[in-house]
Amino acid sequence: MLSTRNQNLTRENNALKTYLKAILETIKHFFRKLLQIGNDKTKDYTADEIKSYYNCEDFSSNDVYEISKETTKEDELFDYDGVPSYLKISKKVKKEKDDFDNIL
């Protein structure tokens, strides 16, 4: 009887963990979109929320990197999270890439 109850609780726990992971993935996607298309106030609020999720260990360093790369909040969030400098794309490289893309 206790063994069966324990197995049921374990299955339920695993299902809830899977559900929470799916919700967090949706939130990450939503935050990324806000950083890409939101106004400055929205981007500031979103960056603060990302930091909060990171502080609570709901987001990893990799999550912060994936959410914020190539957005206007990239430098702020990379610095907050301590993303290694070799993963940062310098503004000069970005500008050169944009200038090149505009030529084509």
Q: Which domain holds residue 25?
A: 2-103
User: Which is higher by pLDDT, 91 or 76?
Assistant: 76
Residue 35: name the closest of 27, 44, 26, 25 by CA: 44
- Three-state secondary-structure class, residue 59: coil
Rounded Cα distance, 15 and 41, in Å? 36
pLDDT value of position 24: 98
User: Which is higher by pLDDT, 86 or 74?
Assistant: 74
Count of domains for the chain: 1
pLDDT value of position 92: 46
Taking only the tens place, the pLDDT of each residue in 6-33 is: 999 999 999 999 999 999 999 999 999 9
